[in-house]
Amino acid sequence: AQSVAQPEDQVNVAEGNPLTVKCTYSVSGNPYLFWYVQYPNRGLQFLLKYITGDNLVKGSYGFEAEFNKSQTSFHLKKPSALVSDSALYFCALNSGYALNFGKGTSLLVTP
Amino acid sequence: NAGVTQTPKFQVLKTGQSMTLQCAQDMNHEYMSWYRQDPGMGLRLIHYSVGAGITDQGEVPNGYNVSRSTTEDFPLRLLSAAPSQTSVYFCASSYSPWTGALYEQYFGPGTRLTVT
């Protein structure tokens, strides 16, 4: 079965520090991976995706993600966190006509 | 463009009642889908559509019906509401029907449904 896992329910980081939100995947064949962000009481917003090509994918709001095939991971990163980055982050894997979402990781950036 | 719109924003139903959650998009997207979001469970796909007149079931379709008579609209019907359907419901659309999941999905603001 194709799935993604987000091993951390919550990540805390101080403003200005680098942040990483982890995602691992399980798929037969090539993975198509996405990151979405959800701010309180809002719908999800697309951040970035990996389809093929460079293992480092750049996305919106200064986020990037590193695809690692040997470790089956697609971790979301940002060099310097902002308080406004505090939100719920979802990793997702393409599965036919749908996306399989992870359970989400709550990111809290403290001043 | 308004993007993806959903109505109502909030709804309280009694067990056994029926209702329709509305979803519309003005981006001429072929692919549309409905998800439910429950704490600690991420988003789970209920139904999806790859074009007008074509719908299919997702991971958790029981208790829900959909239809797609136009490109713009994709309503979700709860036939007989149950407390287990208390959730936040999101509609999403995407550019391509056949590789829809490979493209960015645009999400509506959600409908928060409580069934008592």
Q: What three-state secondary structure class fits B3?
A: coil
| DSSP letter, residue B41 | S
**pLDDT at residue B99, rounded to an integer:** 55
> In the block, which residue shows the tokens 């982050």?
A89
Name, in order, each residue with C-beta under 8 angstroms of A87's C-beta and a sequence gap of 6 or more.
Answer: A37, A38, A39, A40, A106, A107
Query: Going by DSSP bridges, is the β-strand pair A98-101/A73-78 parallel, antiparallel, or unpaired?
Result: unpaired
Contact A97 B101 (CB under 8 A): yes
The larger pLDDT score, comparing residue A40 to residue A56, is at A56
**pLDDT at residue B40, rounded to an integer:** 82
**Lookup: tokens for A100:** 């399989």
**Quick one: which of B70, B74, B71, B48 has its CA closest to B59?**
B48
Question: What are B20-45's pLDDT values in tens digits?
Answer: 999 999 999 988 999 999 988 889 99
**pLDDT at residue B102, rounded to an integer:** 61
**DSSP track, B49-87:** EEETTEEEE-S--TTEEE--SSSSB--EEESS--GGG-E
Which residues of B have a CB under 8 Å from any CB of A?
4, 31, 33, 35, 40-45, 48, 50, 56, 58-59, 90, 92, 100-102, 104-110
pLDDT at residue A46 is higher than 50: yes
